[in-house]
Amino acid sequence: MQLDKSHYRTHVNYRQEPADKSLPLPAASYTGSYHNDFLGDAIVAEETGKLVLKLGPKWRAFPLTCFDRDTFTYQPTGEMSAGPSCATLRIGPDRIADAVTLEYLDVHGSGTLTRVPVRK
């Protein structure tokens, strides 16, 4: 086993942009709170004009970089994070994300968090 290889399902070289890269939707299409019972909560927020992914009990912020439209890269931390991973947002018919899949945390298929409705 190579220690410099990631152990999550990275099937794409995120260091090389796709040839036909599509621009992302407006930030408001992605921002919101997401949840699943296994991972807990995550937030996609806009800070100083850029998207960030917030995870963990202290809401650590991971800057998101558009890879291709609704797929964003970020650099996980920790001893098992060897390279960039992605956050892919699933866009609903209203052009608002209804789920986010965090590749780094999806090793066993449990990395999809669904949007938490805004309380009114």
Cα Rg of the chain (Å, integer): 14
CATH top class, domain 27-115: mainly beta
Give pLDDT, residue 78.
80
Separation in Å, CA 28 to CA 8, 42, 46, 107: 28, 16, 8, 28
Task: pLDDT tens for the chain, 120 residues: list them.
Answer: 444 444 455 578 888 889 999 999 999 999 999 999 999 999 999 999 999 999 999 999 999 999 999 999 999 888 767 788 999 999 999 999 999 999 988 878 899 999 998 776
Q: Where are the domains of the chain?
A: 27-115
Give pLDDT, residue 2.
46
pTM of the complete model? 0.87
E-strand ranges in 11-115 read 32-36, 40-47, 50-55, 60-63, 65-68, 71-74, 85-91, 97-102, 112-115
| CA–centroid distance for 20 within its chain | 21
